[in-house]
Amino acid sequence: MELPMAKAINAGLRAAMLADDAVMLMGEDIAQLGGVFRVTEGLQEQFGPSRVLDTPLAEAGIVGTAIGLAMRGYKPVCEIQFDGFVYPAFDQIVTQLAKLTSRHSGTQSFPVVIRIPYGGHIGAIEHHQESPEAYFAHTAGLRVISPATPHDAYWMIQDAISSSDPVIFLEPKSRYWHKGPVDDEQAGATMTQARIARSGTDVTLIGHGAAVSMMHHGSHGRGYGSSSPGSVNLCRAPLSSRRSGVIFNLDKNAEQRVIDIM
């Protein structure tokens, strides 16, 4: 089937909720409205108000509540409405959530997923088109991922929810309504896998989220297509798990250059 990324994430959330009654969603306007970008549309109607909750406009409270729910055996999936709204929750995420498993000597897991629409190219005002991923990617204890395609999004959100680790799930706003094929039977990328989007031998471009599409089009525009003397090895990689994919590409050809587009 073909879906825009927003609908692919919606389908992935639905699949995760059907598979595990411990999964619950929470965030500002995600229940009755279905979220600003309608990513959670229809889920409260299907699963009820006890599993899909509207919260006050208090990001620190949203994440703090999710931490408590995780300690009680739930698998909360929070939505931060826009990237620039995440900073009030920064202490809860970086100082608390990221450290709690270590603080408990590994005896307690905190399976919290924090969904954050991020990035620009939507003509929005301040606080609505930022890229805070570097803060989280450099924080030990967090997994940080961003899908590049609807197929990625469908499977990666489910993998994130099934993880016992806290996950920052960055959703590229500029790709929400770009359609792509989604195979709901053939499992796609996991959080820890880099995906080779296009093979080549001369240049390796590594990126995440919306950058993968930009690199794809840009590499053709710069003459790196298959008919040119040089060719591109285009790699979509998780922010916090890039090492294996990068090493694979470096080992493949000693003449490569690696360009990391954030």
Read off the pLDDT of residues 145-182 as tens digits, 9 standing for 90 and up.
888 889 989 999 999 999 999 999 999 998 999 999 99
Which residue is associated with the tokens 């499977």?
155
Average pLDDT, the chain: 83
Q: What is the pLDDT of residue 128?
A: 77
- 128 counts as catalytic: yes
Complete DSSP assignment for 77-105: EEE-SSGGG-GGGHIIIIIIIHHHHHHTT
The yes-or-no verdict on residue 133 having pLDDT over 60 is yes
The yes-or-no verdict on residue 144 having pLDDT over 70 is yes
Coil, strand or helix: which one is 118? strand
CB 28 within 8 A of CB 54: yes
CA separation for the pair 54, 21 (Å, rounded)? 18
- Number of neighbouring beta carbons within 10 Å of residue 97: 25
CA separation for the pair 230, 176 (Å, rounded)? 32
β-bridge pairing 167-172 and 195-198: unpaired
> How many residues make up the chain in this entry?
262
For helices 150-162 and 5-19, the axis angle rounded to 10 degrees is: 30
CA separation for the pair 80, 89 (Å, rounded)? 9
- Number of neighbouring beta carbons within 10 Å of residue 102: 10
Coil, strand or helix: which one is 60? helix
The catalytically annotated residue of 104, 121, 128, 178 is 128
Read off the pLDDT of residues 176-220 as tens digits, 9 standing for 90 and up.
999 999 998 877 666 666 767 666 666 666 766 666 666 666 655
Q: What is the pLDDT of residue 94?
A: 97
- Number of neighbouring beta carbons within 10 Å of residue 193: 17
β-bridge pairing 75-79 and 113-118: parallel
Read off the pLDDT of residues 70-95 as tens digits, 9 standing for 90 and up.
999 999 999 999 999 999 999 999 99
- Helix and strand counts by DSSP (H, E) for the chain: 9, 12
Position 69: which residue type? L
Question: Where do the structural domains in the chain lie, given as residue ranges?
Answer: 2-181, 195-261
Nearest 5°: phi and psi at 62? -60, -50
CB 158 within 8 A of CB 9: no
User: 2-181 — its CATH code?
Assistant: 3.40.50.970
CB 149 within 8 A of CB 183: no
Sequence-separated (6 or more) residues with CB below 8 Å from residue 224:
200, 202, 203, 230, 231, 232
Q: In what order do the strands lie in the sheet with 113-118?
A: 52-54, 23-27, 75-79, 113-118, 167-172, 143-145
